[in-house]
Structure 1
Amino acid sequence: MTFGEQPAYLRVAKDLRRQIADGKLPPHTRLPSQARIREVYGVSDTVALEARKVLMAEGLVEGRSGSGTYVRERPVPRSVTRSAYRAVGTSTPFRQEQAAEGTRGTWESRSEQTVAPGGIAARLGIEPGDRVMRTRYVFRDAGEPLMLSTSWEPLAVTGRTPVMLPEEGPLGGCGVVERMAAIDVVVDNVTEEVGARPGLAEELAELGGVPGHVVLTIERTYFASGRAVETADLVVPADRYRVAYRLPVK
């Protein structure tokens, strides 16, 4: 193989990918069998198998038990909007964005006291093992899983206050800014770092993905006068959603 020349399995995968993109192999069509790929492209069984593995890893095809490998339906990505916080009412950012787009989302949550692992402690500026309130969320849009979120709040800030449980009490379900304001903590800054990685098995099970799918990750932290008062990991299925930012110019 000369410099710049692709391995045979990638050349086969590229041609099959093109046929999928062009509609020659539409959704729900059975992918050519390993024997057929070998015959058409003049390659070995090993090359044919590796080409099929590439398409499966890319999420373009899926295996059906006892039936074969089929082209997957490719959803049109929708936007998960991240915008500058609007400190109005008592709505969470998720509720605000859903209202702005004329949609109605729902979520499930579960909170529990635990100790901060090392990475989370560093983000919150506390010691590993300090007590935190961890809340896990599953957000849905029209019943479809949209996003997972796990948040951590230092109990040194919220412990023994009316807002200790994010989804319960007088301000249950309100955003971090409003809840913190109720205990005289003024949130004045938020950071978000966006990344991507293969989804964990348990994440994909909740989001309705298949093994190998990529997820977008958002690491968010709220600050009050330089002190972190909440940090969260958000996980979004990359094949169905894109993260769109709308930020004001000052």
Structure 2
Amino acid sequence: MPSAERDYLRIADLLRQRIRAGEWQLGERLPSRAKLALEYNVKATKLQKAQELLISEGLLESYAGSGTFLREPPVRRRMYRSLHPELHNPAPFRLDIGEVTEGSGWESQTRSRVRAGERLAARLGIEPGADTVHTTYEFLIGGRPTQLAESWEPMAITGSSRVVFPDLGPYSGQGVVARMAAIGVTVDRVVEHPRPDRATQSQANMLGIPVHDLLTVIERTYYDVNGRAVETADLVIPDSRWEITYELPIGRQQP
């Protein structure tokens, strides 16, 4: 076995021993990689590789910009997807997670005039190259990202209105249905297409999960009464943290 591989495996084993000895409590942040690398007299890249191995084993979790933590036993929450109108507010993330702790909610970033590629254009029913408003979301519980999303809206619909940015203005956080209603557009239905996927390196870094961990990606599109797509989004949901439940109405039978 090459010495470089032995080094990171040795460091991983030393970290395991410290974890088992109770040096850090569940949920506690470990010392920085730079500090641990100095302690073990190795390059930071080797220390990172050792930690990535322990993340894949479920002992640690790492959040981009926040550090590496001793992983707490994952709590698998139930996420409800429902056709009831009251469940669309606020959107795209409804706090249907039981008790809401401090630091729960979402952070978002929006860019306008993002040109639609062919696949996105097909989802929105617009011409490739047409301008969209693109918003990325990180949904937080206890201050840590627990779900991701990206949404796109045609600028031809909202571009000259006061609701052009989903995360700014008087209708910030009100959701697609309320924002569209404010400019005279009635949303009639939503279509969701769930599919399994595996976490990329970027998604794993954001969510604090192992690379290639199982995800559910929901492709969601809102349509108005004329069948026009007004928003489409990809919801990225870690399977280890969320159980997805769909609630569907049944038409009542006449006696």
What TM bracket, shorter-length normalisation? 0.5 to 0.7
Aligned to 2:48: none
Q: Are the equivalent residues in 2 in contact too, given 1:85–1:93 (CA < 8 A)?
A: no
Q: In structure 2, do the counterparts of structure 1 residues 93 and 249 end up closer, same or farther at CA, with 3 Å as the change threshold?
A: farther
Correspondence 1:1-250 to 2 at 5 A: 59-60=56-57, 75-87=74-86, 91-92=90-91, 94-95=93-94, 97-98=96-97, 101-103=98-100, 105-113=104-112, 114-224=114-224, 225-250=226-251
Residues 31-61 of structure 1, C-alpha deviation per residue, up to 9 Å, x if partnerless? Answer: xxxxxxxxxxxxxxxxxxxxxxxxx8xx555
SS at match of 1:239: coil
Give the Cα–Cα distance (whole angstroms) in 1 for the partners of residues 230 and 158 of structure 2.
9
1:212 deviation in Å? 2.1
Give the Cα–Cα distance (whole angstroms) in 1 for the partners of residues 201 and 87 of structure 2.
38
Residues 89-126 of structure 1, C-alpha deviation per residue, up to 9 Å, x if partnerless? Answer: 9633634535xx34253110000021011111100000
Gaps of 5+ in 2: 1-18, 21-52, 61-70
1:190 deviation in Å? 0.2
Q: TM (normalized to structure 2)?
A: 0.66
Give the Cα–Cα distance (whole angstroms) in 2 for the partners of residues 234 and 137 of structure 1.
9
1:248 deviation in Å? 2.7
Give the Cα–Cα distance (whole angstroms) in 1 for the partners of residues 146 and 107 of structure 2.
12
Give the Cα–Cα distance (whole angstroms) in 2 for the partners of residues 167 and 73 of structure 1.
32
SS at match of 2:204: helix
Give the Cα–Cα distance (whole angstroms) in 2 for the partners of residues 73 and 109 of structure 1.
26
Q: TM (normalized to structure 1)?
A: 0.67
Give the Cα–Cα distance (whole angstroms) in 2 for the partners of residues 78 and 231 of structure 1.
25
Gaps of 5+ in 1: 1-27, 30-55, 64-71
Q: In structure 2, do the counterparts of structure 1 residues 61 and 248 end up closer, same or farther at CA, with 3 Å as the change threshold?
A: same
Give the Cα–Cα distance (whole angstroms) in 1 for the partners of residues 76 and 87 of structure 2.
29
Q: What's the % identity of the aligned pairs?
A: 41
Q: Are the equivalent residues in 1 in contact too, given 2:88–2:175 (CA < 8 A)?
A: no
SS at match of 1:123: helix
Q: In structure 2, do the counterparts of structure 1 residues 172 and 162 end up closer, same or farther at CA, with 3 Å as the change threshold?
A: same
Q: In structure 2, do the counterparts of structure 1 residues 88 and 212 end up closer, same or farther at CA, with 3 Å as the change threshold?
A: closer
